[in-house]
């Protein structure tokens, strides 16, 4: 949010001389709605969201999907 063009434009003068201020929700309902969205976003990032079990994206080869130490092997300075 702090990098959103609308936020930066609205508070451009203040950002030149002070730290950014994070706007607070206007009500408890808005706070809980935003907290719920934040939790959902965290679950996606941590690969815990239930929707990820139904993903159409699959690995085309068998394996454990882990990147082991030393991967990728670089030869001649190129990846």
- Higher pLDDT: 50 or 67? It is 50
pLDDT band of 76, cuts 50, 70, 90: low
User: What do you get for the CA distance between the two ends of the chain, in Å?
Assistant: 34
**3-state secondary structure at position 53:** helix
Q: Is the pLDDT of residue 13 over 80?
A: yes
The rounded distance, in Å, linking the Cα atoms of 39 and 37 is 5
**pLDDT tens across 52-66, in order?**
888 777 777 787 777
Residue scoring higher pLDDT (37 or 22): 37
Answer whether residue 79 shows pLDDT above 60: no
Domain ranges for the chain, please list them. 25-55
| pLDDT surpassing 80 at residue 4 | yes
């Amino acid at each position: 949010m702090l990098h959103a063009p609308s936020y930066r434009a609205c508070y451009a003068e203040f950002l030149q001389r002070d730290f950014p201020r994070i706007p607070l929700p206007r009500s408890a309902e808005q706070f809980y709605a935003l907290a719920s969205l934040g939790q959902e976003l965290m679950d996606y990032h941590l690969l815990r969201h239930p929707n990820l079990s139904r993903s159409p994206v699959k690995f085309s080869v068998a394996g454990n999907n882990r990147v082991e130490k030393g991967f990728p092997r670089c030869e001649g300075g190129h990846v």
